[in-house]
């Protein structure tokens, strides 16, 4: 695998002193991504990587398999807005690169296009779209070259014209209309001129020249982010401020007089609040690390009374629908739905199609995949698994029947594959679970190509979910494993907090033990095992490859943070010190220095083949970290590798802005595994 990489300039004088120790940073100049020198080096590195991955024999088959699993009809459940049963939904055909917002005036009519981002330039993405309650307008967020930093525009549906409204602030998100459709609330970062202000919720009025009014925010916690919803009854806005994903506060804004009413005023737990009639339905982990549901009255909103007590399984969400409570639990890292009466009595468990997931992670925390209105009787259930794409079902309580509404055809028969859950011991003896997926009857001959993924951070759960790349990998005869390592939320707050700050090594040990278990259990050997991580998972796979290079044959490190001594300087990552610890703290800084990948490259270690994959328009992780890491690995280690740089263009933290870009990226990733692990795709 000898490859000729372009050399990077080494600045011997570049570096910094932290707690009395000098740390060199010879590639700091790459942090200027727009400089001609950086751009030329990226282009040259990309040419080497593409020369390997795009010339791989059998690549056409890889692309075909990825495209088959990616390009399919996509349809969301309908949402009513406006008179005479007007409905909106998201929809896309197999040929569409971007999903469209559709509308029909009533259930007898056909859906017509309201917003079609396929007519926009490729680099422009439709991030969200919210119809007004009267169905006349759509407020939508458009971003450039990524799916963050959206700016709001408002469309008049009847005329097809954009309103001149320009809501204040930047990075608009989490929008909720006023009940009378005269304006909306939205969350945003302050304009650059408001340097002293933090993130906030604003109220924007249509056709009004005055700037939007700030109604909620905290100038002291500048890295907090906000979320806003308007209650079904139209009397309140529910306002939430998050300290990353560790805790939040919740207030009600009474719309008649704009009075702020505290519900969870202290930043010490995770809380979700829904107004149901004259009461509040509250999901919280306050005094219940595995979650519980509470009720409060509107006249005493801070006096909570338990409705569904804490149990062994993790209560992730509760939703009041049709006069009943739908509780979604994570039980052994997969989801189960239990239905309760209004007084909390257990009625039944809703039977799901298979082992999989219902809820999903968003910028607003964990969102319930069971949706509907408190006053209505229609219940929608979202479901996905490792072998079934995101699907939607109608649930009828009277008959206890789950009826398919949209189950996409991706060319993969779930009955041909099996998903098992294994338990193994980490370095300190802690039992850790891992899902293992493969074709039924696949021999456990110690030579299967295996992809192992993990995340292990920020309390984020990683229940079974479908990815087109996984589908293509399984059809090639590969095995997929996902380890539910500590630091994630799969087993509640205690599982999360077992790997934060100076306990983060637990997550790394859990992941290394997963790789070794796959070998000792006869699935594979080290040379045929690849680890894959994105974002915090990218940090996970980089650290574990450097700490235990003998456990992995290849590593795909996507959109990571790799310099743990400098991460607070980037964007809003300063708030991530609540998770990682602070480099400025003498104890936490020393701990970070001991595992930070960029500071721990050793010349004499036989590291696995690695691909460092920056999203060049990333707004959540430093896009220059993978550049600096690849340059250092290539220059300072000649025993292992090779070490590729695979830049993602017109992509943000979550991927490409079009399906075509996503297919290209997934095909490159799949080609990397085949090349590094010796899999013949032809």
pLDDT of the residue at 197: 74
pLDDT (tens digit per residue) in 534-546: 999 999 999 999 9
Residues of the chain with pLDDT under 50: none
Looking at the DSSP assignment, which residues form a beta bridge with residue 296? 280
- Contact of 298 with 282, CB cutoff 8 Å: no
The total of other beta-carbon atoms located within 10 Å of residue 9's CB is 12
What's the token pair of residue 462? 């990683």
DSSP designation for 414: G
pLDDT of the residue at 1: 59
pLDDT of the residue at 223: 78
Place of tokens 């062994």: 312
> Distance between CA atoms of 9 and 32, rounded to whole angstroms?
14
| Secondary structure of residue 144 in the 3-state scheme | strand
DSSP 11-80: -TT-EEEETTEEEE-TTGGGG-TTSHHHHHHHHHHHHHHHHHHTT-TTHHHHHHHHHHHH-S-EEPPPEE
What's the token pair of residue 116? 């079609």
Longest dimension (CA), the chain: 73
> Distance between CA atoms of 118 and 112, rounded to whole angstroms?
15
- Contact of 226 with 216, CB cutoff 8 Å: yes
pLDDT (tens digit per residue) in 36-47: 999 999 999 999
Label residues 662-678 b or e (16+ Cβ within 10 Å = b): bbbbbbbbbbbbbbbbe
pLDDT of the residue at 103: 97
User: How many residues in the chain?
Assistant: 682
pLDDT of the residue at 527: 97
Calculate the alpha carbon distances from 184 to 178, 210, 213, 362, 644 in Å. Answer: 5, 14, 11, 21, 46
- Contact of 252 with 263, CB cutoff 8 Å: yes
- Contact of 327 with 333, CB cutoff 8 Å: no
- Contact of 425 with 431, CB cutoff 8 Å: yes
DSSP designation for 533: E
| Residue among 435, 289, 442 at smallest CA distance from 356 | 435
> Distance between CA atoms of 486 and 490, rounded to whole angstroms?
8
DSSP designation for 609: E
pLDDT of the residue at 209: 86
**Phi and psi angles of residue 414, each rounded to the nearest 5 degrees, phi first:** -55, -30
């Amino acid at each position: 695998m000898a490859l000729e990489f372009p050399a990077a300039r080494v600045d011997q004088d570049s570096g910094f002193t932290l707690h009395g120790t000098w740390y060199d940073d010879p590639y700091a100049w790459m942090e200027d991504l727009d400089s001609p020198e950086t751009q030329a080096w990226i282009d040259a590195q990309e040419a080497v990587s593409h020369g390997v991955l795009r010339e791989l024999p059998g690549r056409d088959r890889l692309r075909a398999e990825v495209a088959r699993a990616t390009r399919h009809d996509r349809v969301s459940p309908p949402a009513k807005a406006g008179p005479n049963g007007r409905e909106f939904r998201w929809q896309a055909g197999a040929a569409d690169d971007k999903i469209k917002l559709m509308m029909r005036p009533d259930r007898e009519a056909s859906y017509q296009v309201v917003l079609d981002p396929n007519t926009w330039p490729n680099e422009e993405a439709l991030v969200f779209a919210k119809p007004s309650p009267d169905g006349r307008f759509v407020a939508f967020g458009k971003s450039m070259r990524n799916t963050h930093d959206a700016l709001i525009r408002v469309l008049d549906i009847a005329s097809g014209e954009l309103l001149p409204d320009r809501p204040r602030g930047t990075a608009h998100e989490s929008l909720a209309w006023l009940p009378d459709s005269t304006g909306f609330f939205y969350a945003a970062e302050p304009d650059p001129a408001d340097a002293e202000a933090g993130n906030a919720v604003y109220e924007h009025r249509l056709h009004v020249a005055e700037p939007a009014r700030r109604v909620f925010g905290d100038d002291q916690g500048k890295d907090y982010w906000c979320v806003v919803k308007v209650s079904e009854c139209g009397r309140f806005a529910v306002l939430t401020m998050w300290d990353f994903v560790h805790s939040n506060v919740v207030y009600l804004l009474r719309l008649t007089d704009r009075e702020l009413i505290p519900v969870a005023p202290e930043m010490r737990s995770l809380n979700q609040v829904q107004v149901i009639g004259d009461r509040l339905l509250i999901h919280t982990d306050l005094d219940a690390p595995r979650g519980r549901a509470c009720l409060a009255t509107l006249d005493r909103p801070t006096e909570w009374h338990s409705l569904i007590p804490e149990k062994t399984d993790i209560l992730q969400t509760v939703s009041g629908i049709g006069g009943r409570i739908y509780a979604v639990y994570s039980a052994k890292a997969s989801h189960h739905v239990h239905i309760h009466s209004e007084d909390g009595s257990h009625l039944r468990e809703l039977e799901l199609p298979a082992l999989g997931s219902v809820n999903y992670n968003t910028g607003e925390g964990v969102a319930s995949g069971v949706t509907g209105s408190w006053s209505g009787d229609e219940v929608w259930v979202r479901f996905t698994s490792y072998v079934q794409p995101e699907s939607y079902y109608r649930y009828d309580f009277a008959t206890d029947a789950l009826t398919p509404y949209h189950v996409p055809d991706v060319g993969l028969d779930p009955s041909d594959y099996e998903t098992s859950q294994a338990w193994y011991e980490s370095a300190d003896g802690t039992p850790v679970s891992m899902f293992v997926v493969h074709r039924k009857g696949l021999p456990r001959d110690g030579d299967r190509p295996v992809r192992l993924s993990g995340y292990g951070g920020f309390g984020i759960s990683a229940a079974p979910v479908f990815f087109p790349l996984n589908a293509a990998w399984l059809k090639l005869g590969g095995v997929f494993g996902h380890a539910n390592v500590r630091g994630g939320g799969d087993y509640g707050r205690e599982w999360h907090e077992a790997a934060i700050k100076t306990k983060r090594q637990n997550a790394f040990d859990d992941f290394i033990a997963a790789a070794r278990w796959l070998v000792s259990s006869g699935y594979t050997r080290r040379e045929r095992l690849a680890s894959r991580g994105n974002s915090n998972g990218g940090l996970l796979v980089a650290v574990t490859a450097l700490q235990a290079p003998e456990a992995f044959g290849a590593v795909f490190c996507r959109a990571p943070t790799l310099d743990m001594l400098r991460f607070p300087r980037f964007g809003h990552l300063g708030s991530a010190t609540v998770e990682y610890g602070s480099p400025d703290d003498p104890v936490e800084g020393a701990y970070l220095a001991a595992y930070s990948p960029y500071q721990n490259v050793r010349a004499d270690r036989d590291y696995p083949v690695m691909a460092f994959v920056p999203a060049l328009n990333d707004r959540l992780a430093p896009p220059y970290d993978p550049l600096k890491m690849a340059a250092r690995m290539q220059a300072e280690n000649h025993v292992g590798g090779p070490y590729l740089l695979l830049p993602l263009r017109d992509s943000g933290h979550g991927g490409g802005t079009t399906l075509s870009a996503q297919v290209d990226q997934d095909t490159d990733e799949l080609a990397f595994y085949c090349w590094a692990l010796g899999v013949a795709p032809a």
